[in-house]
Amino acid sequence: MSVAAKRRETEVFSLAFLDCICCGFGAVLLVFILSISQKINIDKTDVDELKARVDQMKRDVNLSQAEIDRLAKILAAAQLELEDENSKNNRDQLKLTDRQRELLLMLQQTGAMKDALDRLLGEKKALPTEDHAPIPIPNVDRRQYLTGVKLHGEFVVFLVRASGSMLDETIEGATNRLTDPDVKKREAPKWRRTIHALQWMIASLDPATRFQIFFYNDETTCVLENRADEWFSTTDKKTVGEIVKRLDTVVPQGGANLERAFTTVRYLPKLPDSIVLFTDGLPTRSDSLPFDGDVGPEQRIRFFEVAKTQLPPHIPVSTILFPFSGDPAGPAIFWELANATRGALVSPSKSWPDT
């Protein structure tokens, strides 16, 4: 065997085998390159989608922040309004001024003085030098001197409280009478004195003076239904007779809304020259300040202050204040009203107006 023959026998790979190896390697490279390109496209799609989602979330966050800012502004405004209301309530509480407190203290010391006055009036009645007039309504000048109420002016309004408190001079007594039938309520001594005082006031009017009468409790009603816009005269005997009959049918009941009564007077077609108020204390109801529960002295003072704002300006208000043990602040407050309007305040004895 020759040397050339030996060399040919030791060659393991031929040219055809190397070609196959190269082709296979090239195919693998081609597949790899194509896969990489497709993955790049897929990754690019995912990135774009994520960017879009991120942008949407940013927009949602901006909208949420705007809503939070709006709510924060509303909350700040509500807090300011609450502070204003609290400040207003504090100012209302301060309406019990030092002057009023002093008047309340003075009021507690007047019991003995009123008893002494009743004694003196009784002694005056027993004097032999004074004769009673033989008519139901005694001498007008003497009675006006006693009351201090001057019924001058062309138009006079009488406001008469007809609440449950007008049944008796004490809370306990008035409460006990609330269950009485209407006929007994109309005959309650305190209410009869109120009606007699009103009749005397009407009889003492000058013939040229016109008058109107309103009763107030929870509501305000005219003495003659459907005639609230009219003015009556003592020379009209028929109308006066109707009024007298109507006075005997009124039944005291419910609370006392003085704000509504003053508002009724304020919107009369013709304003009066003077107002005469028959009452036994401060109001227990108010349209502007609704209140649930037991009404205490401070609430009643606030109800009165609100009611006073409805009074027409420049009209004297005189108050005939009948006694009631459950309202110690009443006399002081009504004294201030009389002083402010150039009216009068009278707290009559039990025998007035019969003596």
End-to-end CA distance of the chain: 175
Closest by Cα among 171, 166, 170 to 187: 166
Closest by Cα among 133, 269, 144 to 201: 144
Is 144 a residue whose pLDDT tops 60?
no
Q: What is the pLDDT of residues 10-37, one digit of tens each?
A: 555 566 767 777 888 788 877 777 777 6
Give the confidence band of 139 by pLDDT, cuts at 50, 70, 90.
very low
- The Cα–Cα gap between 287 and 247 comes to 27
pLDDT at 154: 92
Q: What is the pLDDT of residues 42-70, one digit of tens each?
A: 666 777 788 888 888 888 788 778 888 88
Q: What is the mean pLDDT of the chain?
A: 82
pLDDT at 150: 66
Is 4 a residue whose pLDDT tops 80?
no
pLDDT at 278: 97
Q: What angle do CA 219, 220, 225 make, to 5 degrees?
A: 115
Residue with tokens 């009021």: 107
Q: Which residues are within 8 A (CB) of 310 and not within 5 positions of it... i.e. 6 or more apart? A: 259, 262, 263, 266
Q: What is the pLDDT of residues 151-193, one digit of tens each?
A: 668 999 999 999 999 999 999 999 999 999 999 999 999 999 9
- The Cα–Cα gap between 181 and 183 comes to 6
